[in-house]
Structure 1
């Protein structure tokens, strides 16, 4: 399980490629995690925020993108540090000069979670092989 939720402020509409960002994060989880994240358990989604307050509320152009990742318990600390450093750097590079064009805060938080799941996607992926 690796689920990523990207929250982004509505004032960023059209300023970056949201679909590209979702695809980038999914690809990072699929292709650069050394199979630590099962492909069938990857979920990446975005939530456009219309109600928010940033900093001192004095600049309507202030914006943020926050990425929350939930994953199952038990991943090695060294893996987490290396993988999420690399993913954060990839996201920053993807956003490119957006940081220079406006006031923007980017954050990434990682949480280990236990939960209940029922997922037949794994079966479909295994049957393809």
Structure 2
């Protein structure tokens, strides 16, 4: 973990800040120090069909959901969420200053009982690191 979903409206997708968002969120997640590299999954999707606010076509959005495994205390989760969101805000502020933009971010904790995994990424990443 984490699994990260980033969506943005078509009208902001080509902006330099939006193009840099995937790497910035990935780096911020690693910087928290609580997520293993092999657990990170990040998806970035441009949404073609949307309505934002009053429907003005210049209104844009970025929506980020960061889902994490169960077991970290609230303070740890809050510090990680604050760190990632601060990086998002720093990156997107120039875009927000140029155009109407709604940014939403949420960290969610997955169920401890109903969370299944079938994964060998950790072993492969460790082998690649040791071979380098």
TM-score, normalised by the number of residues in structure 2: 0.87
Does residue 103 (structure 1) correspond to residue 100 (structure 2)? The answer is yes
| 1:19, distance to aligned residue in structure 2 (A) | 4.4
- CA distance in 2: counterparts of 1:67 and 1:20, whole angstroms: 14
Counting matched residue pairs gives 126
**Partner SS, residue 8 of structure 2:** strand
**Which SS does the other structure have where 1:100 is aligned?**
helix
1:8 aligns with: 8
Contact 1:16 1:95 in 2 (8 A): no
Please say if 1:26 is aligned against 2:23.
no
Cα deviation for residue 44 of structure 1 reads 1.1
2:74 equivalent in structure 1: 77
Give the Cα–Cα distance (whole angstroms) in 2 for the partners of residues 18 and 107 of structure 1: 14
Shift of 1:96: 3.3
Aligned counterpart, 1:55: 53
User: What does the per-residue CA deviation read over 1:16-53, in whole Å, with 9 as the maximum and x for residues that have no partner?
Assistant: 344421111111122x222x211101011111111111
SS in 1 for 2:83: helix
Structure-2 residue corresponding to 1:66: 63
Task: Structure 1: give runs of 5+ residues left out of the alignment.
Answer: none
Aligned to 1:45: 43
- CA shift at 1:85, angstroms? 1.1
Query: What's the TM-score once normalised by structure 1's chain length?
Result: 0.89
